[in-house]
């Protein structure tokens, strides 16, 4: 087991997360994945947006930037463009990434820029009191949908693939070891990687959806997640209320900073 204490800013602790929040498990999975990939702390940048998820960057002893709501990806894009040698990891919430940051998200995917984006997907705007996000499951309850959320949610994995991401995976805080491996593979991918990390928010989502106990949220993940391999043997009816976990998409495509460097080299040679 990796010693992840060395990656934590002890002076920034204790963290602000509620008892039973899944985000600590996600943070530990990221740190273990970074350790497994052998990344240099001084050459690794963590960029986060705004929300409960995005407080994670403050606890991590790397180069960290806690940015503006929905804007983690533009900051991360600028950092990667300025110095492509850096490992840049983005932490964002489901609301942060897919509502106010939705346009940034699809265009970062389209460019296939070498960033690893981990969506702390707790189905809700946690920090601001439980409003619906674009990933709030249909028919669940939120502050803004007290009688049930009638909108369909994005399938963020399919959206990522359609927009051009070259590595797309989903894990959960219940399947912490698998999540670590998926994040490590996302870091290893040379291109835009998305890991949809299902987390538990007992305070803002659970209490409205009969899962106020943190253990209930973990049991929900256990009972509704199906690996890609297991899903291949199940019917559409059996999969109706389930979601897939594991590696969902992988492809090789030109990476943005590489392509940009080629343009620079061409111009140095006097060719427009």
Binding site for ligand SF4 (CB under 6 A): 17-18, 21, 23, 52, 122, 126-127, 201-204
Judged by beta carbon distances under 5 to 8 A according to partner kind, the member of Mg ion, ligand SF4, none in contact with residue 127 is ligand SF4
Closest approach of ligand SF4 to the CB of residue 219, in Å:
16
SS3 24: helix
Closest of 4, 11, 10, 50 to residue 29, by C-alpha = 4
Closest CB to Mg ion among residues 48, 122: 122
Closest CB to Mg ion among residues 197, 245: 197
Judged by beta carbon distances under 5 to 8 A according to partner kind, the member of Mg ion, ligand SF4, none in contact with residue 202 is ligand SF4
Closest CB to ligand SF4 among residues 112, 133: 133
Closest CB to ligand SF4 among residues 125, 154: 125
| Residue pair 154/136 in contact by the 8 Å Cβ criterion | no
Rounded Cα gap, residues 105 and 239, in angstroms: 28
Closest CB to ligand SF4 among residues 26, 169: 26
Encode burial over 130-167: b for 16+ CB neighbours within 10 A, e otherwise: bbbbbbbbeebbbeebeeebeeebbebbebbbebbbbb
Judged by beta carbon distances under 5 to 8 A according to partner kind, the member of ligand SF4, Mg ion, none in contact with residue 93 is Mg ion
Closest CB to ligand SF4 among residues 164, 202: 202
**Between 74 and 93, how does the x/- string for binding to Mg ion read (CB under 5 A)?**
-------------------x
Q: Encoding tokens for residue 67? A: 């940015």
102-111 vs 156-163: helix axis angle to the nearest 10?
50
**Between 100 and 129, how does the x/- string for binding to Mg ion read (CB under 5 A)?**
----------------------x---x---
Measured in residues, the chain has a length of: 272
Judged by beta carbon distances under 5 to 8 A according to partner kind, the member of ligand SF4, Mg ion, none in contact with residue 94 is Mg ion
Chain centre to alpha carbon of residue 260: 26
Rounded Cα gap, residues 192 and 154, in angstroms: 19
Judged by beta carbon distances under 5 to 8 A according to partner kind, the member of ligand SF4, Mg ion, none in contact with residue 195 is none
SS3 40: coil
Q: Which residues bind Mg ion (CB under 5 A)?
A: 93-95, 122, 126
């Amino acid at each position: 087991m990796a010693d992840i204490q060395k990656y934590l800013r002890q002076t920034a602790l204790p963290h602000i997360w509620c008892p039973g929040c899944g985000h600590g498990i996600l943070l530990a999975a990221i740190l273990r994945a970074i350790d497994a990939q052998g990344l240099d702390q001084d050459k690794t940048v963590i960029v986060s947006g705004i929300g409960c998820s995005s407080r994670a960057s403050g606890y991590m002893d790397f180069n960290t930037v806690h940015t503006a709501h929905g804007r983690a990806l533009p900051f991360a894009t600028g950092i990667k463009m300025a110095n492509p040698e850096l490992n840049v990891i983005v932490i964002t919430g489901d609301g942060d990434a897919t509502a106010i940051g939705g346009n940034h998200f699809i265009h970062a995917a389209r460019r296939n820029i070498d960033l690893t984006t981990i969506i702390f997907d707790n189905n809700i705007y946690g920090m601001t009191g439980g409003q619906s996000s674009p990933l709030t499951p249909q028919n669940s309850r939120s502050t803004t949908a007290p009688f049930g959320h009638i909108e369909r949610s994005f399938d963020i994995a399919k959206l990522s693939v359609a927009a051009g991401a070259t590595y797309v995976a989903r894990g959960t805080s219940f399947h912490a070891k698998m999540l670590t491996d998926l994040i490590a593979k996302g870091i290893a991918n040379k291109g835009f990687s998305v890991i949809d990390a299902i987390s538990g928010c007992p305070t803002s989502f659970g209490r409205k959806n009969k899962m106020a106990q943190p253990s209930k949220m973990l049991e929900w993940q256990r009972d509704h997640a199906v690996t890609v391999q297991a899903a291949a043997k199940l019917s559409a009816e059996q999969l109706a209320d389930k979601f897939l976990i594991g590696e969902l998409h992988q492809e090789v495509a030109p990476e943005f900073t590489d392509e940009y460097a080629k343009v620079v080299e061409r111009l140095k040679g006097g060719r427009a």
